[in-house]
Amino acid sequence: MSLREKLNLEHPVVQAGMGGGIADGLLAGTVSAAGGLGTVGILPPAQMRRELDRAREIADGRAVAANLLVPFATADHVDACAGRADAVVLHGGLDRGLVEQIKRRDIPVLCTVGTEEEARRALTDGADGLVVQGVEAGGHLVGVEPAVKALGRVRDVSNGAPVLLAGGVADHADVRHALDAGADAVVAGTRFLLSEECPAHPEYKRRVLEAERTVETQLFGIGWPMRHRVVPNAALKRWGGGDELGLRPVRALQSLSAPLGSRLPQSLAARMIHLQRPWLPLFGPSAPLEGMPARTVDAGPLYAGETALRIDSVVPAAEAVKLLAGVERAAPA
């Protein structure tokens, strides 16, 4: 039985589990209700439990997934997913112990990978499927080459396990191309970031819509020094330097902060964005949400994939599912 059949998905469309509140229960539940697979991004465990419950209520019997970031996932996160998530996607690393914890709860596990070596290790660790990420994806990157190219390499070592493609998915033509190249389904982030249900800050959405480029950087890495793709803002323009990954002293500081990420309570780490200022090179990974001060948009990461340059409207999440699935065209904005 394929993953799509197991999860009873009407469309081979998965909404990326954007963490920190970007992919909440409303967004995930709406996507699932529309026939895709909605995914609640990582939050503090009690909040994640509430958002998964909310997603399930909105999804009305359809499958809902959860996304856990390996450096920050705890046993309490696994407990939050038990009985609520029909699948868990792990991102930001590989961890056999975490895979085993989740599978003991009878939840299928998919691991995000960027290379065939990572794919082999994930499957050895017990993963039930793989999400192969391309370098063009938004958010935190394990991808190192274009998604479709990486898909072929990972597919060759997948031993029949489902392989989903993430990165470069803006419309139905992208979905069709990915499926023709061997993907079992696609994972889209930026298309759902630019949806009415997504609680990202409105100015964040506006800047993504108007973006002329995206940048791979490490600037917003206090507590999590991992590459990420963003739309430029005042912080990046000030501290990007000649190397857009970030000035070397700033990147060194991010690397030194890595142990903080797993030790600080997630709720405290999420509040860091309220303290950030473009002139002070201490930038955490939390993105600006609706209701936050406007200044956070220039001091926090504006995660977006290269598809930002090809998306020109904010639409209801259910319509985004249909656009990607090729069910119907969106009405003009």
Confidence at residue 24, expressed as pLDDT on a 0 to 100 scale? 98
Q: What is the arithmetic mean of pLDDT over 282-300?
A: 92
Averaged pLDDT score across all residues of the chain? 91
pLDDT 10s digits, 116-145: 999 999 999 999 999 999 999 999 999 999
Is pLDDT of 257 > 60?
A: no
Confidence at residue 262, expressed as pLDDT on a 0 to 100 scale? 53
* Dihedral sign, Cα of residue 183, residue 138, residue 321, residue 60: positive
Q: Sheet containing 185-188: which strands, arranged edge to edge?
A: 13-15, 185-188, 163-166, 129-133, 109-113, 87-91, 64-69, 38-40
Burial of 126 (0-12, 13-18, 19+ CB in 10 A): middle
Is pLDDT of 108 > 50?
A: yes
Is pLDDT of 278 > 90?
A: no
pLDDT 10s digits, 63-84: 999 999 999 999 999 999 999 9
Confidence at residue 330, expressed as pLDDT on a 0 to 100 scale? 46
Is pLDDT of 283 > 70?
A: yes
Confidence at residue 121, expressed as pLDDT on a 0 to 100 scale? 98
CA distance linking residue 179 with residue 184, whole number of Å:
6
Confidence at residue 288, expressed as pLDDT on a 0 to 100 scale? 96
Confidence at residue 271, expressed as pLDDT on a 0 to 100 scale? 67
pLDDT 10s digits, 19-47: 999 999 999 999 999 999 999 999 999 99
259 — pLDDT class (breaks 50, 70, 90): low
333 — pLDDT class (breaks 50, 70, 90): very low
Is pLDDT of 10 > 70?
A: yes
If we measure between CA atoms, which residue out of 230, 134, 109 comes closest to residue 188?
134
Pairing of strands 163-166, 139-140: unpaired
Is pLDDT of 303 > 50?
A: yes
Is pLDDT of 242 > 60?
A: no
- The C-alpha torsion from 230 through 235 and 239 to 241, rounded to 10°, is 50
Residue 127: strand, helix, or coil:
coil
Confidence at residue 172, expressed as pLDDT on a 0 to 100 scale? 98
Domains, in order of start, for the chain: 3-198+311-325 (3.20.20.70), 215-303 (no CATH)
Residue 289: strand, helix, or coil:
strand
CA distance linking residue 183 with residue 18, whole number of Å:
21
Confidence at residue 248, expressed as pLDDT on a 0 to 100 scale? 62
